[in-house]
Amino acid sequence: ASAIKAGQRVAEFDKVLQGRIARALDLERDLRRALEHEELELHYQPKFDATTRRLAGAEALLRWRHPREGLVSPQDFIPALEESGLIVPVGAWVMAQALRTALHWRRTYRPALRVAVNVSVRELRHKDFLEEAKRLLEPFAGNQPLDIEVTESVLMEDITRSISTLEGLRTLGCRIEIDDFGTGYSSLNYLVRLPIDAIKIDRSFVSALTQGPQAAAISGAIIELAHALGMRVTGEGVETEEQVRMLQLLRCDTLQGFLLGRPMDAEAFASQVLSGFATSSAND
């Protein structure tokens, strides 16, 4: 009897698994279609200088305008992009699109505007990644075409290869920023071996900042050490004025978060952040 039960359980497990695989394939098929039918778009979140609160740059964030589901957040589909390998063509699209927008905004509004893109593990590790980045960015290498945000845990796995990829990106005029700093296992001491220009302190640290002296001490130490190593520091996920004050006190260089500006589509970014900037002090 128990053998029958076990058999049933296996059959049920099979069904669950098949369901999961079918859904994964659905998602993959949908994503292929999304790429072909131009359902992907980039939104932009501003970054501000911590002391002057002037615009310091923008981060491109991927969105999927799904025909049925509406606007889908990257957390819901980036894992599928990575598993299917679709992250490579999508990443290339992100870079090309962000570059096009950056060049347009520089021509129209701010000649030295910085725009950053996020690059995932699979992408950075892909054998064609640097080649593709070169093809896109080399013509603009003298003008610091794009900045690159990459999550720390990724880089440590194969550090020699990471160093050469990041060096290659730097040669193309990209500034390298370590995203979500503090959430991985690496220390700044280890990061020193990588060609890094800036770190972004993860939102979890920023939200802990005002909850006690210990969290503030940790962030303060990270910022101080980063500065000693010649890196700049961005605080991400800033949601309150109190966090702004703390980060200013701790000498953080750049701030980003819903309090100061949410991610918005390119048109909104141009009209709300860029065009108003030169003539008003709305950000002060």
Contact set with ligand C2E (CB under 6 A): 45, 61-62, 73-75, 78, 94, 117-120, 149, 179-180, 203, 236-239, 257-258, 263
**With the C-alpha atoms ordered 81, 46, 57, 228, is the resulting torsion angle positive or negative?**
negative
Residues 223 to 252: which contact Mg ion by CB under 5 A?
236
d(CA 196, CA 162) in angstroms, rounded, equals 11
Cβ-contact 182, 204 below 8 angstroms = yes
For residue 165, CA distances in Å to 83, 118, 176, 184, 186 come to 21, 15, 11, 20, 19
Q: Residue 46: which of ligand C2E, Mg ion, none does it interact with, CB under 5 to 8 A by kind?
A: none
Closest to ligand C2E by CB, 3 vs 241, is 241
100 CB-side CA count, 13 A: 9
Examine residue 147 and tell whether it contacts Mg ion (CB under 5 A).
Answer: no
- Say which residues have a Cβ less than 8 Å from residue 38's Cβ, sequence separation at least 6: none
Examine residue 149 and tell whether it contacts Mg ion (CB under 5 A).
Answer: yes
Q: What does the block give as tokens for 207?
A: 């939200």
Q: Residue 119: which of ligand C2E, Mg ion, none does it interact with, CB under 5 to 8 A by kind?
A: ligand C2E
- Amino acid (one-letter) located at 12: E
Q: Residue 239: which of Mg ion, ligand C2E, none does it interact with, CB under 5 to 8 A by kind?
A: ligand C2E
Nearest to 110 by CA among 170, 69, 58: 58
Helix axes 241-249, 213-228, angle to 10 degrees: 50
Q: Residue 254: which of Mg ion, ligand C2E, none does it interact with, CB under 5 to 8 A by kind?
A: none
Closest to ligand C2E by CB, 142 vs 182, is 182
Closest to ligand C2E by CB, 105 vs 181, is 181
What 3-state class would DSSP assign to 109? Answer: coil
Helix axes 129-137, 87-108, angle to 10 degrees: 20
Shortest Cβ distance from residue 147 to ligand C2E (Å)?
12
By DSSP bridging, strand 147-151 and strand 232-235 are: unpaired
Q: Residue 258: which of ligand C2E, Mg ion, none does it interact with, CB under 5 to 8 A by kind?
A: ligand C2E
**With the C-alpha atoms ordered 107, 112, 118, 119, is the resulting torsion angle positive or negative?**
positive
d(CA 56, CA 43) in angstroms, rounded, equals 16
Q: Residue 74: which of ligand C2E, Mg ion, none does it interact with, CB under 5 to 8 A by kind?
A: ligand C2E
Residue window 103-142: x/- pattern of binding to Mg ion, with contact defined by CB under 5 A: ---------------x------------------------
Shortest Cβ distance from residue 22 to Mg ion (Å)?
31
Closest to ligand C2E by CB, 206 vs 226, is 206
Closest to Mg ion by CB, 152 vs 179, is 179
Stretch that binds Mg ion, among 40-48, 177-185, 187-195, 205-213 (CB under 5 A): 177-185
Closest to ligand C2E by CB, 126 vs 203, is 203
Closest to ligand C2E by CB, 74 vs 168, is 74
d(CA 256, CA 201) in angstroms, rounded, equals 10
- Chain residues binding Mg ion by CB under 5 A are 118, 149, 179-180, 236
